Structure 1
Amino acid sequence: MKKLIFTGLLAVAGLTSNANAQIQEGNWMVGSSIVTSNFGLNTDAGYNFAIQPRAAYFVKDNVAVGGYVKLGTEKISKDSNTKFTYGVGALGRYYLSPGEQGVDNLLNHGRWFFEGNVGIGGQNTKGGTNTTGLDFGIGPGYSYFITPNIGLEGLVKYDGIAGFGSEGLTSKISFNVGLSIFLPTSKGREVMNDIKN
């Protein structure tokens, strides 16, 4: 029964938090890019779909560090071979504060951010080019909070893989759309302490 009450109180605490509480020190962010469009910078680049789950911990207000996994497939045309992409590594995000550097919140329900990642990744095309090596990316994004703890996100990134294989460097500009859930662990600790007392 205590667990049920705790879960209910945690949900209410999360839903009543203000617009800045999501990105405070001690909170977690989990989410994924669901749709990715690539605008290739190489001659064989094109359009693809990928899933990119991520999790990050806010080490201080507005700053999150964590990890990501990247899995995707790409088919440029009906006659082309399928390309498989993969990657795993670390990521960091910095959320801009309202009015910082002249940037205001869009509709007062969201935050601009910059994301960077570095890890190990690659891409393989059946019967074609392949690359495995350093997976990296950087770019700006925007998180629009559809509820106090769920953000709908758009992210434009420069992505690249530098390494070994038949292609030494591949790069592209990607546009990602996804969701992130912000878990207020500090609120959860407060509620748990209140229940114990």
Structure 2
Amino acid sequence: MKKLIFTGILAVAGLATSMNAQIQKGNWLVGSSLISSNFGLNTGGGYNIALQPKGAYFIEDNLAVGGYVDLGFNKVTNGSPTEFTYGVGALGRYYLSPGEKGVDNLLNHGRWFLEGNAGIGGRSVENADSTTGFDFGVGPGYSYFITPNIGLEGLVKYRGRAGFGSEGLNSNISFNLGFSIYLPTSKAKDIANDVK
């Protein structure tokens, strides 16, 4: 137990020393976007919930590449069929540096970024036609660091799907809220060694 507590203290202390190092080459980003969520308050109202876990590795300062999984459930009204949405693919994220191309940080503890993704996605509707196709998206976002290694994020994203099944291209613009944890590779190795 003492070893576990000591490891936790070392992890927090080590991560706290990396305030400006979140988006440097060799670090990891792990997080999730809550894509949309609404619940009908009227009698017979429906719901829409979607989650997009993601992970990426910084191949250069400010540039991360990785993957995502997209999972969601929709029900328009109480009597309507349930729709399940899904997707998996690659994503890339580029963080703008303060002052880069005239972009200034709104807050001292945040960074603007651009995110794009491409993969396979689809939807399955209960007792109806379903489709799978090319899933893609792009949009700007902002990450506000509430601690040196945890960021709350907002992302406005154009999302599209070119279906191979019963429907062609469909698209929407979504406002995503979520969080990301930025892990320095060196600190993760130190923590793993301490646990041994």
**Residue pairs, 1:96-107, within 5 angstroms:** 96-107=96-107
2-side partners of 1:91 and 1:177: how far apart?
17
Unaligned runs of 5+ in 1: 39-45
- 1:9/1:128 Cα in 2 relative to 1: closer, same or farther (>3 Å)? same
SS for the counterpart of 1:73 is strand
1-side partners of 2:120 and 2:35: how far apart?
21
Unaligned runs of 5+ in 2: 39-45
Q: Is the 2:35–2:174 contact (alpha carbons within 8 Å) kept by the matching residues of 1?
A: no
Q: TM-score, normalised by structure 1?
A: 0.84
Q: Which residue of 1 aligns with 2:13?
A: 12
**Residue pairs, 1:23-102, within 5 angstroms:** 23-36=23-36, 48-102=48-102
SS for the counterpart of 1:101 is helix
**Residue pairs, 1:45-194, within 5 angstroms:** 48-188=48-188
Q: Find runs of 4+ consecutive structure 1 residues off by over 6 angstroms.
A: 190-193
Q: Is the 2:88–2:120 contact (alpha carbons within 8 Å) kept by the matching residues of 1?
A: yes
Tell me the number of residue pairs that the alignment of Structure 1 and Structure 2 aligns. 186
Bigger drift between 9-18 and 101-110 goes to 9-18
Quote the RMSD (CA, aligned, Å). Answer: 2.5
Bigger drift between 89-98 and 77-86 goes to 77-86
SS for the counterpart of 2:101 is helix
Offset, 1:188:
4.5
Offset, 1:66:
0.4
1-side partners of 2:191 and 2:120: how far apart?
39
State the AA in 1 paired with 2:11: L
SS for the counterpart of 1:165 is coil
Q: Is the 1:131–1:161 contact (alpha carbons within 8 Å) kept by the matching residues of 2?
A: no
- 1:155/1:16 Cα in 2 relative to 1: closer, same or farther (>3 Å)? same
Q: Is the 1:110–1:144 contact (alpha carbons within 8 Å) kept by the matching residues of 2?
A: yes
- 1:103/1:24 Cα in 2 relative to 1: closer, same or farther (>3 Å)? same
